[in-house]
A and B are shown apart, each in its own frame.
Chain A
């Protein structure tokens, strides 16, 4: 770690020494330890190279495979991607929700009002522009096992049906460029000061870092819409040290909209030394270890009677049926959980009706299976999926994919209702 502020020289001085150092390094090349060393040479600046080797350009074959995977996983149903047409409105999860909330969606006013009261998820999502600022290896790992990166958003990147190789190919397609050489180290103490002065914590959470309150005045004026988007999209800075390429981080801090037009992150007045200092603080300040994952507890069955009406209202018709419904009875294609989508095979699962849920889903072998069938530990499959979402939020990657996919977990008390309802013979 570069935590030696006393070695950090002012930028101008380091620049003036650089040609001299280059000359001496050339002179000393291959001449052995007896080479003369001038005693008046100042100590070398701290190493500029990052801890991790610079990432080379992505393998073109991996990029090509990744481009195909972008189609397969239907990334454009949520994200804007350069060079790709967005999904049509009826398939675009985020734009559809945004249009409904803004009253632009073509539906009667009464229906719009009803929907507006329901929509909390997938109302904002980052556009996939300027991704070269991220580490490809980090993106591959995150795509494979996503975690909550943006605490202000209700939904997270869903855990798609992809392996590590596919995740690496996707990351190659999204970040094909090589990483630029790392900049000289910044002044961590100055960075800490700037973190407060520039009000970074107004939008960003920085889990595990010392608490630094934002300044009373914002460094730049923000309109309400930009502030709200910033609050929603701002990533937790805890992950920046693994997530961002050091040179790109400095460049980003200097002028975010230049790298990603439309970003809610404003251009904050900083010179390069300040940007390096801020980057140093964000990437090097010691962090408290993350909280230990909590064990997800399946609650005991209830003594009282639970009816279909109750579980339908509290669980299945609250979220589930949006993706799992019968195309004969719902709008559209029945959703990705029924007809397939986002890289998932059609499971033909309908959670919009009693008959539908009792009809089960199509397994990997193409045969129908009961969603109530107990797994090895006795937990009904559908309950296990809902519990798995809690485990995912706690940082685990359980074998069963957590449901609802990428959304807030169903409260444990509501899962308990479903569990009890199943145990009671699924009464109507």
Chain B
């Protein structure tokens, strides 16, 4: 069932999220005028940052419903849709798939968790495209690291960011520390922990447990 749900969700070409356009100022300005969709996304981003994954997902679902899980979309509203989908995907990755996101993805059952994580990986990969930003790369690595088969790729992605001093988040350093240690790169792991600690990011556990 969850496989079917996954297939369905990936097959859905998202209807354009027809949110009202915000008024533009100066082609680019310091703060956008807030419309309701924007408010929901901003609120969900804050909840995600506070590791309140269930609330983040339910906030997105309130505004977007299943459209948030729909496949990559283009046209007006694409930016906001992309942000909404990113929140849901990261909530899935960071909760290990435990958060139900709709369409039978995520939840207590392992199969649902796996399906949700597979969806998150695919969604973040689609968002990253051919020229991902470091933020997109790190987020994809977070999701990949939740799959046994994805950990090697996650390590490669994060190692590249770390070597270029382009790691965008403390989570990225923490995960690189874990993956480095897993591969026997003790020095690399130690360095990543140090960089993570220096970032002093709230709620990010930089020190590795013995099992990691």
Q: Which residues of A approach B to under 8 Å, CB–CB?
A: 90-91, 93, 96-97, 100, 105-108, 111, 114-115, 118, 307, 317, 321-323, 325, 327-336, 338, 348, 350, 354-356, 358-360, 368-370, 372-373, 424-428
**Secondary structure dominating the interface of A:** loop
Counting from the closest, the 8 A-B pairs by CB-CB distance are A425-B198, A335-B28, A370-B165, A332-B28, A359-B134, A427-B200, A332-B27, A358-B168
CA A164 – CA B143 in complex, angstroms?
50
Stretch at the interface among B1-9, B29-37, B115-123, B145-153: B29-37
- Establish whether residues A105 and B164, one from each chain, have CB atoms under 8 Å apart when the complex forms: no
| Given contact pairs A108-B33, A370-B165, a sample of 17 additional A-B residue pairs in the complex whose CB atoms are under 8 Å apart | A90-B25, A90-B27, A322-B26, A322-B29, A327-B28, A328-B82, A329-B79, A331-B32, A331-B33, A332-B25, A334-B28, A348-B133, A350-B133, A359-B134, A360-B166, A425-B198, A428-B199
- Establish whether residues B134 and A107, one from each chain, have CB atoms under 8 Å apart when the complex forms: no
CA A293 – CA B114 in complex, angstroms?
64
Would A368 and B164 be within 8 Å (CB), given that A115-B25, A335-B28 are in contact?
yes
CA A336 – CA B25 in complex, angstroms?
14
- Establish whether residues A333 and B199, one from each chain, have CB atoms under 8 Å apart when the complex forms: no
Interface centre among A93, A307, A322, A372 (most CB of B within 10 A): A322
Q: Which residue of A lies closest to B82 (CB)?
A: A328
**Secondary structure dominating the interface of B:** loop
- Establish whether residues B200 and A96, one from each chain, have CB atoms under 8 Å apart when the complex forms: no
CA A115 – CA B83 in complex, angstroms?
25
A-B contact count (CB 8 A): 113
| A196, chain B: closest CB distance, angstroms | 42
Would A372 and B135 be within 8 Å (CB), given that A91-B27, A335-B28, A425-B195 are in contact?
no
CA A368 – CA B209 in complex, angstroms?
33
B167 interface residue, CB < 8 Å from A?
A: yes
B24 interface residue, CB < 8 Å from A?
A: yes
| B65, chain A: closest CB distance, angstroms | 21
CA A427 – CA B201 in complex, angstroms?
7
Q: Which residue of A lies closest to B194 (CB)?
A: A425
A-contact bits for B147-185, CB 8 A (1 contact / 0 none) = 000000000000000001111111000000000000000
- Establish whether residues B199 and A370, one from each chain, have CB atoms under 8 Å apart when the complex forms: no
Residue from A107, A368, A370 in contact with B25 in the complex, judged by beta carbons closer than 8 Å: A107
- Establish whether residues B198 and A368, one from each chain, have CB atoms under 8 Å apart when the complex forms: no
- Establish whether residues B33 and A111, one from each chain, have CB atoms under 8 Å apart when the complex forms: yes
CA A213 – CA B206 in complex, angstroms?
67
- Chain A residues in 8 Å Cβ range of B24: 90, 331-332
26 A–B pairs (Cβ distance < 8 Å), ordered by A: A93-B26, A96-B26, A107-B23, A107-B25, A111-B33, A115-B25, A322-B26, A323-B28, A327-B28, A329-B83, A330-B28, A330-B29, A331-B22, A331-B25, A331-B27, A332-B24, A348-B133, A355-B135, A356-B168, A358-B169, A360-B134, A360-B166, A424-B198, A425-B195, A426-B199, A427-B200
CA A403 – CA B9 in complex, angstroms?
46
Q: Which residue of B lies closest to A369 (CB)?
A: B164
A-contact bits for B185-208, CB 8 A (1 contact / 0 none) = 000000000010111111000000
| B157, chain A: closest CB distance, angstroms | 13
- Establish whether residues B167 and A335, one from each chain, have CB atoms under 8 Å apart when the complex forms: no
Residue from B27, B33, B166 in contact with A370 in the complex, judged by beta carbons closer than 8 Å: B166
- Establish whether residues A368 and B134, one from each chain, have CB atoms under 8 Å apart when the complex forms: yes
- Chain B residues in 8 Å Cβ range of A334: 28
CA A179 – CA B22 in complex, angstroms?
50
| A308, chain B: closest CB distance, angstroms | 9
Q: Which residue of A lies closest to B200 (CB)?
A: A427
| B25, chain A: closest CB distance, angstroms | 6
CA A332 – CA B28 in complex, angstroms?
5
Q: Which residue of B lies closest to A373 (CB)?
A: B165
CA A360 – CA B33 in complex, angstroms?
27
Q: Which residue of B lies closest to A329 (CB)?
A: B83
- Chain B residues in 8 Å Cβ range of A355: 135, 168-169
